[in-house]
């Protein structure tokens, strides 16, 4: 499933709760953009990760969960496969979920390790969070929860957690306003503002770890 001279190692990590009626065949079809990108003929063939110590792509039938801790070799065109996958997962997801994707620049590390070679090129490392869910409200709920967690973790360095209730309320107000705008725009037949079902949030700054177990 490896690609010849692929410049990036791409790690996909997340857990998606699926509807109780979703079958393996439906999940395989939903994930087709990424396993087909990997050069596999089926989800089963692609379920193993590039790294043997990662569990890969798993469908837990008892709990109806999709578990992903999977690395594939590729390039920036993998982003299109991710967008298609997220749109498909919207159709089978039971609740909102976040999927973390790390693009690790293997070529940059090789150049960096060569003490005799100097390169002016910047690393292509990147990290994005994609959101899926059965409806915009469930997606916004996941976005809200992640933002609250990030903000609280940051501000607790300076304030006691009990002092941050107003901050959380302000975040909730912003998301309520966005949701109201979304509902209004849908009722008027206009494209919704803000993030959609597969919207990504980039986290810049620094190199991200290859594995996000």
Listed in order, strand segments (DSSP E) in 24-134 are: 56-60, 65-74, 97-105, 126-132
CA–CA separation, 213 vs 86, rounded Å? 21
pLDDT in tens, the chain (213 residues): 455 567 899 999 999 999 999 999 999 999 999 999 999 999 999 999 999 999 999 999 999 999 999 999 999 999 999 999 999 999 999 999 999 999 998 776 555 545 444 445 677 789 999 999 999 889 989 998 988 888 888 888 888 888 888 888 888 888 888 877 777 776 655 544 444 444 444 444 333 444 443
Six-digit token string for 29: 């079809």
Six-digit token string for 142: 């996941």
pTM of the full structure: 0.76
How far from chain centre, in Å, is Cα 181?
A: 25
Among 2, 134, 23, CA closest to 75:
2
């Amino acid at each position: 499933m490896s690609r010849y001279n692929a410049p990036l190692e791409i790690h996909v990590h997340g857990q998606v709760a699926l509807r109780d009626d979703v079958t393996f065949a439906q999940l395989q079809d939903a994930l087709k953009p990424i396993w087909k990108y990997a050069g596999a003929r089926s989800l089963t063939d692609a379920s193993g990760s590039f790294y043997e110590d990662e569990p890969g792509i798993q469908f837990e039938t008892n709990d109806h969960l999709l578990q992903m801790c999977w690395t594939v070799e590729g390039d920036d065109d993998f982003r299109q496969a991710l967008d298609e996958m997220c749109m498909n997962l919207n159709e089978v997801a039971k609740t909102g979920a976040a999927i973390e994707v790390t693009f690790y620049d293997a070529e940059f590390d090789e150049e960096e390790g060569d003490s005799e070679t100097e390169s002016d090129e910047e690393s292509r490392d990147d990290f994005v969070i994609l959101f899926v869910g059965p409806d915009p409200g469930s997606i916004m709920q996941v976005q809200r929860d992640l933002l609250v967690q990030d903000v609280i973790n940051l501000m607790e360095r300076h304030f006691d957690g009990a002092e941050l209730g107003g901050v959380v309320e302000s975040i909730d107000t912003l998301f309520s306003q966005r949701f109201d705008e979304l509902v209004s725009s849908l009722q008027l037949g206009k494209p919704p503002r803000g993030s959609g079902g597969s919207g990504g949030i980039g986290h810049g700054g620094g190199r991200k770890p290859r594995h996000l177990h």
